[in-house]
Structure 1
Amino acid sequence: MSALFEPVTLRSLTVPNRVWMAPMCQYSAEVFGPNAGVATDWHFAHYAARAAGGTGLILQEATAVSPEGRISPADLGIWNDTQVAALRRITGFLKSQGTVPGIQIAHAGRKASTDRPWKGGAPVGPEAHGWQPLAPSALPFDEDHPVPTELTTDQIDGIVEQFADATRRALDAGFEVVEIHGAHGYLIGEFLSPHSNHRTDAYGGSFAGRTRFALRVVDAVRAVWPEDKPLFFRISATDWLDDAGWTVDDTVRFATLLKEHGVDLLDVSTGGNAPKVRIPTGPGYQVPFAARVRKESDLAVAAVGLITEAAQAEKIVANGEADAVLLGRELLRDPSFARRAARELGGEVHVPDPYHRSV
């Protein structure tokens, strides 16, 4: 029996296999007006193809909890009921294929209000439907980004409530998993790292201060998310800045706290909080971070980062380095990766009836 194609149960939810889709922004939503942030036919086709391909769980791309929480004006949102209605079409189809629908809820912080990546990804202003970014401290991401507005404690309270409201809407939209985005230098990750958090109040300084906002978000989400449904948290295990930033030691320590606060799985990535950082990439380069968290915190983890081959994914799960693998670019290249991997490894995966000849 292939370890990659064994089901995994988190709380009352059973995911049919360990081949999962990582959240990847499509920057393809409506940009402004009453349909801003609403999913389009592109999103339906994109996610439907990976479900038909046998993916066990799909985490929808970073979906903003507020208009100013988007990475770009073309990001998906979940701050109103119009957006929810469009998402139900996606979750309904995913479930019909045996795929678990999950959603990553997010706030981009100081990295908000940028153009689509294929248009350069530079910050955009009001003339291009942009806005003033918000952050823990008035520190720009780099020399090309504007100085963000430092959040007041009242604004922090408001954003915590926005995450809770987004979670309620995610449930209404039919999602079975919620993932809080705390990675890649977006708002929650900005609070965690001393590189981007220079606050001197209760939300800065010490480890306890810098993790306070993240834990408040977790508590607010867990309070409204059903007890029988799992909660994920995505983290950058390191800023790749040594002791000047967030470290893997911090991540292990934080993982224990997350588990105590009701998080069921840590989605372990790295980087994104500082520009021009040298990252030693290679096949599975982030897997050791996930493996260490799993071993030292006893929290379930998913591994991500240049996982491209069936045998590679099988080894990660079989060796106990992670409970599941999250595939990104490889699933963009091959929507039916799970079905192909099942053939290679002797596993079983859902195949839609019209695709029976592909088995």
Structure 2
Amino acid sequence: MITTKSLTLNTPLTIGSVKLRNRLIMAPMQQYKGSPEGYATEHHVQHYARRANAVGLIIVESTAVSDNGRLVPNDIGIYSDQHTDALKRVTDAVHTKHTPIFVQLSHGGRKSDPEITKRLIAPSAISYDDTYGKPSELSVSEIEALIEDYRLAARRSIEAGFDGIEVHAAHGFLIHQFLSPISNLRSDAYGGSPLARAKFLQDTLAAIRAETGRNYPVIVRISSTDYVDGGLNPQELALMLKPLVADNLIDAIDVSSGGLLPIQPTDTHPGYQLPDAAVIKQHLDVPVIAVGKIYTRSFADRIIGDGLADAIAIGRPLLEDPDFAQKMIGRKDFS
């Protein structure tokens, strides 16, 4: 019998129908190398394949579901059928390393890049800051059109060869804007109570599931706190996510923080987001991914062995050193 204490970073983990060879995940990180039309490039093929040698899973950078929701001018997208071929080259390259790869589906909402956004949108007409400007409040029909964008993006994700989907509901982007009471002041079905504020995420996940089926992994990245009184906190988020987990809409939770407001955490010590991940894990019966300067094998093993999280995601060290995962894992070859 496997006990929690016997689990380590090297222990395989199953997310949905996909088995990870270990619990080290490459976190999604913007590359700023997409074409003006949002296509993945040769940079992405080489970048992700080079870092796929030892990690259990790669999650690709933010990938826009709408040409009006890109985060930066050189973001990559999946908002047309023409984007799939370029992304298929990325997934094929990673699969040669026997590593699964998920796409991160996103829409910037009020934080979409003003240079390329025709019309800023949000659940409520509240600005992020003066740089972005004031967004327009979404109508219900516009919300339904956005949910359709996610559904079509899910279809293209499968066609592009991705093994799963991460829905970006963190860092102040559109879904996070719906979840937080600070940015969502609606009084209709998509606002008000915590469960109503989660309806956009719920409807989006249901639309994605309509394309993928139950066995295809779908995970969600959340910001556990808005770093301000009256904002989201991990306990409230767990309450909002629990019905979605019960309905088999979510296979894992990726716990980050912040981004809704131009506020930075005052302390970013190693594992600074871990307590929130542990709270989420206490309430939800799906794997929880912890992230936030967890860069040593001993620290990662302690987190997993103590049952605080089920997997560890790392970002910047892999940008600086493509072989960082092999060194952290302690093995040279997993293929």
- Is the TM value for this pair above 0.5? yes
The Cα shift of 1:2 comes to 6.9
Distance 2:321 2:300 in 1: 15
Say if 2:268 is the partner of 1:281. Answer: yes
Say if 2:186 is the partner of 1:196. Answer: no
TM-score (norm 2): 0.94
Name the structure 2 match of 1:291: 278
- Equivalent residues of 1:241, 1:277 under 8 A apart: no
Say if 2:85 is the partner of 1:98. Answer: no
- Equivalent residues of 2:16, 2:218 under 8 A apart: no
The Cα shift of 1:16 comes to 0.8
Say if 2:129 is the partner of 1:134. Answer: no
Higher helix share: 1
Q: 1:2 to 1:266 in 2, by over 3 A?
A: closer
> Any idea what SS the aligned residue of 2:104 has?
strand
- Equivalent residues of 2:195, 2:240 under 8 A apart: no
- Equivalent residues of 1:238, 1:248 under 8 A apart: yes
Q: 1:108 to 1:327 in 2, by over 3 A?
A: same
User: Percent sequence identity over matched residues?
Assistant: 40
Distance 1:349 1:290 in 2: 30
Which deviations, in whole Å up to 9, do the C-alpha atoms of 1:151-196 show, x marking residues without a partner? 1110000000100100000000001110111001100000010111
Distance 1:247 1:350 in 2: 38
Q: 1:293 to 1:2 in 2, by over 3 A?
A: closer
- Equivalent residues of 2:171, 2:258 under 8 A apart: yes
Name the structure 1 match of 2:324: 337
Alignment of 1:1-359 (within 5 A): 3-31=8-36, 36-52=37-53, 54-113=54-113, 123-124=114-115, 129-242=116-229, 244-262=230-248, 263-343=250-330, 349-350=333-334
- Equivalent residues of 1:26, 1:61 under 8 A apart: yes
> Any idea what SS the aligned residue of 1:255 has?
helix
- Equivalent residues of 1:215, 1:261 under 8 A apart: no
Unaligned 5+ residue runs, structure 2?
Answer: 1-5
The Cα shift of 1:19 comes to 0.8
The Cα shift of 1:130 comes to 4.2
- Equivalent residues of 2:24, 2:313 under 8 A apart: yes
> Any idea what SS the aligned residue of 1:298 has?
coil
Name the structure 1 match of 2:3: none
Distance 1:279 1:38 in 2: 36
Unaligned 5+ residue runs, structure 1?
Answer: 114-122, 352-359
Distance 1:342 1:208 in 2: 39
The Cα shift of 1:288 comes to 1.1
The Cα shift of 1:336 comes to 1.6
TM-score (norm 1): 0.88
The Cα shift of 1:316 comes to 1.5
How many residue pairs match? The answer is 329
Which deviations, in whole Å up to 9, do the C-alpha atoms of 1:86-116 show, x marking residues without a partner? 1111111111101111111011100001xxx
Which deviations, in whole Å up to 9, do the C-alpha atoms of 1:279-330 show, x marking residues without a partner? 4211010011111111222221000111122222222122211111011112
- Equivalent residues of 2:235, 2:280 under 8 A apart: no
Distance 1:231 1:348 in 2: 30
The Cα shift of 1:30 comes to 0.9
> Any idea what SS the aligned residue of 1:44 has?
helix
